[in-house]
């Protein structure tokens, strides 16, 4: 299950309610409906989803969907979720469900409309074709199973999965002791200025139900894009339960059928329709980590566990959004694949994994550095390099994270921005005394063409953000350290934009760590000698 999979039933319900019997729309074999507006069941504007109905003998029996990120949807700045977005009108294309496909063919007029709302029209078309092909392939596989087993058996099998999850989740909740686990998370900035925004999560088990009480969270921000819908919170909790607490169960929305929610309307976790939500994953990821930690505590003394008790997986989309004109003179705007390099939290019996996968999609890849460089006007001056002490310390440490840096080439207009939080308050917490992940910053070297500087003096080049920023060896260059949310700006050739992916939380008291593990971390460059001496 990925974050996009756990909300899409809302869209199907909308289409069924408003379009099924509408003679101007209707639902027919070969139709396809596109959305990207989270108010209709999506996640946030840069995610676009294509839905296709499944008909057997003229009867609508199911749906296929291909949901994927679309990096450029015509927002105020490239990427669709920049820090400077201050209203719903700044966030680009707002697609309520529209019938973009008829008779298995993309409708040219509507495709053109969607393309014209993006800085990457060629990518929009390619991705729409990919979504359509994926939905058709799923339909083909579905019909093969219908032919082999019959439609009633197949529908019964799918319904059985849902009902099994409802009943099994209820049984597992009832087996846990009644009580409340409280987890307060903080977002440490509004994307434009520092702030501590409270995200309250109180999980109460009573019998076979869970109450999620989010009251007391900070109010929504009228002109900042980090507000979250209540449905987005439910998505984050669904993901945590499916990935980390009950990974053995079939992945379906029914995992939350035994959960009830209460919140303050017009809060940062239950926003109104009038405020921007392009960066609502800030709130969704807080829900994911809060659930992960709270249920790890519920299960600490349980007679049976279904996954290892562990600290928080890193939970921020730490990456770089870019936009402008590339070396092939195409208009582009998207984010780098470093978003997907989140590190795992420490487990109760072992260290966490280094920069493995995002907390919202366990099978998601980072992409290849060379592929990015081939189509975009930058090089990775620093690429996926682990550096010491970038981890959550503990008896078992969280997975380590890597640094990366993009250096511009060419003179066409092209720029970067940052779009996350965690500079002054850790985004991912440890468990049972384990340390949280570090805090992070964006580092930049501007005002000089580093290609020329490094060519003239090769010894100045260091593929390491720490060394480059502390030595400041380039005369006349401007060295900048700032929060992770950085406004979009154009960059000149040879200017360098650097950042670090984040680390997983630690588990247990650092003083209980096996000295052999400490020494191994020092030998592998995961911990510095100073940390080994002073902390452990």
> What pLDDT sits at residue 6?
59
Length, in residues, of the chain = 536
Residue among 352, 389, 403 nearest 528 (CA): 389
Please state the rounded mean pLDDT for residues 308-330. Answer: 93
Write out pLDDT tens, residues 223-234.
Answer: 999 999 999 999
Question: Could you give the percent of the chain with pLDDT greater than 90?
Answer: 80
Please state the rounded mean pLDDT for residues 329-356. Answer: 92
> What pLDDT sits at residue 378?
97
Phi first, then psi: what are they for 208, rounded to 5°?
-110, 25
Phi first, then psi: what are they for 515, rounded to 5°?
-55, -30
Query: Would you state the torsion angle of the CA atoms of residues 510, 511, 517, 519, taken in this order, to the nearest 10 degrees?
Result: 110
Mean pLDDT of the chain: 93
Is residue 119 within 8 Å of residue 323, measured between CB atoms? yes
Please state the rounded mean pLDDT for residues 40-52. Answer: 87
Is residue 262 within 8 Å of residue 215, measured between CB atoms? yes
Q: In angstroms, rounded to a whole number, what is the distance separating the alpha carbons of residues 435 and 399? A: 12
Q: Is the pTM of this model over 0.75?
A: yes
Write out pLDDT tens, residues 70-112.
Answer: 888 999 988 878 889 999 999 889 889 999 999 999 999 999 9
With residue 499 as reference, give the H or E element that holds it: strand 496-500
Say yes or no to pLDDT of 3 above 70: no
Task: Give the pLDDT band of residue 367 (cuts 50, 70, 90).
Answer: confident
Question: Could you give the percent of the chain with pLDDT greater than 70?
Answer: 99
Say yes or no to pLDDT of 135 above 90: yes
138's CB contacts (< 8 A; 6+ apart) are 64, 66
Write out pLDDT tens, residues 240-257.
Answer: 999 899 999 887 778 889
> What pLDDT sits at residue 4?
46
Burial (CB < 10 A; 0-12, 13-18, 19+), residue 534, is exposed
Q: In angstroms, rounded to a whole number, what is the distance separating the alpha carbons of residues 237 and 181? A: 14
Write out pLDDT tens, residues 435-477.
Answer: 999 999 999 999 999 999 999 999 999 999 999 999 999 999 9
Is residue 400 within 8 Å of residue 391, measured between CB atoms? yes
Residue 3 is encoded by which pair of tokens?
């974050």
Between residues 376 and 46, which one has the greater pLDDT? Answer: 376
Write out pLDDT tens, residues 394-432.
Answer: 999 999 999 999 999 999 999 999 999 999 999 999 999
Between residues 393 and 253, which one has the greater pLDDT? Answer: 393
Q: What does each C-alpha distance from 235 to 1, 238, 378 come to in angstroms?
A: 11, 5, 35
Write out pLDDT tens, residues 255-305.
Answer: 889 999 999 999 999 999 999 998 888 888 999 999 999 999 999 888 899
3-state SS, residue 254: helix
Residue 64 is encoded by which pair of tokens?
């296929």
Radius of gyration for the chain, computed over Cα atoms and rounded to the nearest angstrom:
24
Interhelix angle for 281-298 vs 230-240, to 10°? 40
Task: Give the pLDDT band of residue 46 (cuts 50, 70, 90).
Answer: confident
Q: In angstroms, rounded to a whole number, what is the distance separating the alpha carbons of residues 17 and 40? A: 12
Please state the separation of Cα 194 from the chain's center in Å.
22
> What pLDDT sits at residue 418?
94
Write out pLDDT tens, residues 477-523.
Answer: 999 999 999 999 999 999 999 999 999 999 999 999 999 999 999 99
Task: Give the pLDDT band of residue 7 (cuts 50, 70, 90).
Answer: low
Return the sign of the alpha-carbon dihedral for residues 442, 83, 502, 376: negative
Say yes or no to pLDDT of 1 above 70: no
Residue among 96, 95, 94 nearest 19 (CA): 96
Say yes or no to pLDDT of 150 above 60: yes
> What pLDDT sits at residue 94?
87
> What pLDDT sits at residue 50?
95
> What pLDDT sits at residue 292?
95
């Amino acid at each position: 299950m990925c974050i996009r999979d756990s909300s899409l039933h809302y869209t199907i319900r909308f289409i069924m309610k408003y379009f099924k019997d509408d003679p101007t729309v209707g639902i027919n074999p070969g139709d396809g409906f596109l959305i990207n507006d989270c108010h209709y069941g999506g996640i946030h504007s840069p995610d676009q989803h294509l839905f296709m109905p499944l008909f057997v003998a003229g009867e609508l029996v199911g749906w296929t969907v291909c949901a994927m990120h679309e990096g450029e949807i015509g927002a105020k700045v490239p990427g669709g979720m920049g820090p400077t977005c201050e209203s719903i009108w700044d966030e680009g294309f707002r697609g309520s469900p529209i019938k973009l496909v008829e008779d298995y063919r993309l409708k040219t007029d509507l495709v053109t409309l969607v393309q014209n709302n993006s800085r990457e029209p060629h990518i929009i078309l390619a991705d729409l074709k990919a979504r359509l092909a994926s939905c058709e392939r799923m339909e083909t596989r579905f019909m093969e199973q219908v032919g082999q087993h019959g439609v009633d058996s197949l529908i019964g099998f799918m319904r059985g999965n849902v009902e099994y999850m409802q009943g099994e989740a209820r049984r597992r909740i009832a087996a846990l002791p009644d009580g409340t686990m409280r987890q307060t998370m903080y977002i440490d900035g509004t994307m434009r200025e520092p702030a501590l925004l409270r995200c309250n999560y109180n999980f109460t088990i009573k019998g076979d139900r869970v109450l999620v009480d989010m009251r007391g969270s900070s109010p929504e921000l009228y002109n900042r894009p980090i507000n979250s819908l209540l449905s987005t919170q439910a998505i984050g909790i669904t993901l945590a339960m499916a990935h980390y607490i009950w990974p053995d169960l079939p992945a379906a929305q029914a995992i939350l059928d035994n959960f009830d929610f209460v919140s303050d309307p017009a809060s940062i976790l239950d926003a109104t329709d009038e405020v921007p939500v392009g960066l609502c994953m800030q709130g969704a990821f807080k829900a994911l980590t809060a659930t992960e930690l709270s249920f790890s505590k519920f299960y600490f003394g349980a007679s049976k566990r279904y996954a290892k008790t562990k600290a928080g997986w890193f939970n921020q989309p730490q990456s770089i959004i870019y936009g402008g004109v590339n070396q092939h003179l195409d208009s582009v705007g998207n984010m780098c694949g470093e978003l997907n390099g989140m590190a795992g939290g420490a487990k109760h019996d072992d260290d966490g994994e280094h920069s493995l996968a995002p907390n919202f999609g366990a099978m998601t890849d980072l992409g290849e550095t060379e592929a990015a460089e081939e189509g975009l006007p930058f090089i990775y001056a620093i690429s996926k390099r682990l550096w010491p002490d970038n981890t959550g310390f503990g008896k078992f440490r969280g997975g380590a994270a890597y640094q990366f840096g993009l250096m511009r080439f060419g003179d066409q207009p092209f720029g970067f921005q940052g779009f996350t939080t965690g500079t002054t308050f850790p985004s991912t917490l440890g468990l049972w005394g384990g340390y949280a992940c570090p805090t992070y910053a964006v580092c930049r070297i501007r005002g000089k063409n580093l290609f020329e500087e490094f060519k003239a003096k090769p010894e100045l080049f260091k593929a390491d953000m720490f060394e480059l920023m502390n030595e400041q060896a380039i005369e006349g260059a401007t060295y900048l350290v700032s929060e992770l949310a950085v406004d979009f700006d154009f960059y000149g050739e040879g200017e360098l934009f650097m950042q670090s992916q984040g680390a997983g939380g630690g588990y247990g008291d650092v003083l209980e760590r096996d000295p052999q593990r400490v020494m191994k971390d020092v030998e592998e460059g995961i911990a510095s000698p100073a940390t080994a001496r002073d902390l452990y």
